[in-house]
Amino acid sequence: MQLKKFFSVVAAIGVAVTLAQAEEIKLSKEEMAKANKIYFDRCAGCHGMLRKGALGPWIRPEHHKGKKGEVPGTKELGTKALVDIIYNGTPGGMPGWGKSGELTKEEVELMAKYVQLPPVAPPEKSLSDMKKSWKVLVPVSKRPKKPETKRDWQNYFGVVLRDVGKIAIIDGVTKEVVSVVPSGFATHILRMSKSGRYMYAIGRDGKAEVIDLWMKKPQVVAEIRVCNDARSIDTSKYKGYEDKYAVVGCYWPPSIVTLKGDTLEPIQIVSTASYTYDTGEFTREARVASIVANHHKPEWVINIKETGQVWLYNYEDPRNPTIHMLMAERYLHDGGWDLSKRYFLVAANARNKIVAVDTEKGKIAAIIPTGGVKPHPGRGANINHPKYGPIWCTGHIGSNDIVCIGTDPKNHPKYAWKVVADIKLPGEGGGNLFIKTHPKCKYIFADRPVNPNRKLQTQFYVIDKKSLKVVKTVPIPKEYLKPAKTKDGKEVKARGPVHFEFNKDGTEVWTSIWGNKLEPTPILVYDANTLKLKKVIKDPRIITPTGKFNVYNTMNDIY
């Protein structure tokens, strides 16, 4: 961002900033180790391992000349200003790490000093390195030949227990916790094999697991650490390749790793370091953002964040893959299918645009400005609207816009690839991370967990699919937002509701109370149409629940 814009953001959160005189920063070996871990856990996803920015801004010591002007170096800003920003957050979507209690004042000051030092070069990882971590915990020959449970396993929910590195498997009918299994740190997403039998998890530490849902008590049957930082995983779903392969997209080293679907044995690694689609600059940190399996061909749609390229990666011969590169926009992030499952829509959040990829013809169908700031759709929400036909909607981190885009150029060409609705969430600022709907529900649900306003953060928003207006805000009962206490007596508040998922038949919507590691927080189950709270799932093992993924909906791309 420009220096002027930076100051305006800082002023908006009540911070007085003057350019600091350069101070000598020195950290001990122990402090560096601690800061490295905090940065990896909390900061690298948005600012990049090399701190050159993506969803978040450039935070290196030196000045940077960006497209919109000079970006100040952290050294020039100084410790005091950086402490204020890290502690309080910003209206553009950066959490207030100190204000929320997730970092202590000492840790905030440590990070303010750390980002004024040159970034530490993260380690690389080879195929042989991966194999050292590869474990088949239950051989394929010893796994069930048919489901061992009488439960409706396709109505299981996989729930990410983010900060404790675990996955809870919950029965969508009885609401019982069927199993809790280990995972990588801060699991980002869960995906299902085509058959639904296998659930795949990918942690931010690059550790992948496959969980067998046919077991009476689901458990991890294979695991591997393919990289040091990752966000995406998916499987082969085209006819003839069902459940055969899995793929992980890595943040660092920036790469694509193909694995055997049932054992996670590594097959091939391909670097994604490349040249930006527009300026042709070489980018070492070209991270893989989101991956989906094409329904029309044996290929994955792989989105390369920093270069603004969409790769159509053919997996027919995984040792000798072919890649069709599409020049799109920056920085590519998350996205989902339209109703027809022909078009994949992905956010280019640095340019406030959505890229529509025609996966049948293998080309970019359109690039659409959203009008909002930093689109963040998750998978997005699909509606068959009475006026506009099929539309797909996204929220935004940096503004209060929920934007819907027409996706049917054949039958509704007048609205295709245009914004047909810009729904304003009440109150100032953004903070939305996820929206979700279901074909059998009349509403879209939106969260706002990273909005700095406590009231806006602790309620969710209900949008009518016909009128495309917010018709209700639902505050979370205060009894489920009780602050936890640290050992020294300090109170730490839960963020509030995050992420929505429907049960198999679309009659219920689940949301998590995003807490912290100090104590468990519940999952709230609402009637998807009356909006009444039906069930509160509490369990001492449910700690920092965030993403929830219903097996049936995920395997069938229903959202």
- Residues labelled as active-site residues: 43, 46-47, 94, 333, 376
Count helices and strands in the chain by DSSP H and E runs: 8, 39
Distance in angstroms (rounded) separating the CA atoms of residues 111 and 103 = 10
Residue 80 tokens, joined: 């005091």
Q: 386: exposed, middle or buried (C-beta count within 10 Å: 0-12, 13-18, 19+)?
A: exposed
DSSP 437-452: --TT-SEEEE--TT-S
Contacts of 80 (CB under 8 A, 6+ apart): 20
- Find the DSSP H helices in 115-230: 127-133
Distance in angstroms (rounded) separating the CA atoms of residues 190 and 547 = 8
Q: Are 102 and 143 in contact (CB under 8 A)?
A: no
**Which amino acid is residue 46, in one-letter code?**
C
539 φψ region: left (φ > 0), alpha (ψ -120 to 50), beta (else): beta
User: Edge to edge, what strands does the sheet with 469-475 contain?
Assistant: 435-436, 443-446, 459-464, 469-475
Q: Are 108 and 98 in contact (CB under 8 A)?
A: yes
SS3 329: coil
Cα torsion 341, 365, 258, 251: sign: negative
Q: 84: exposed, middle or buried (C-beta count within 10 Å: 0-12, 13-18, 19+)?
A: buried
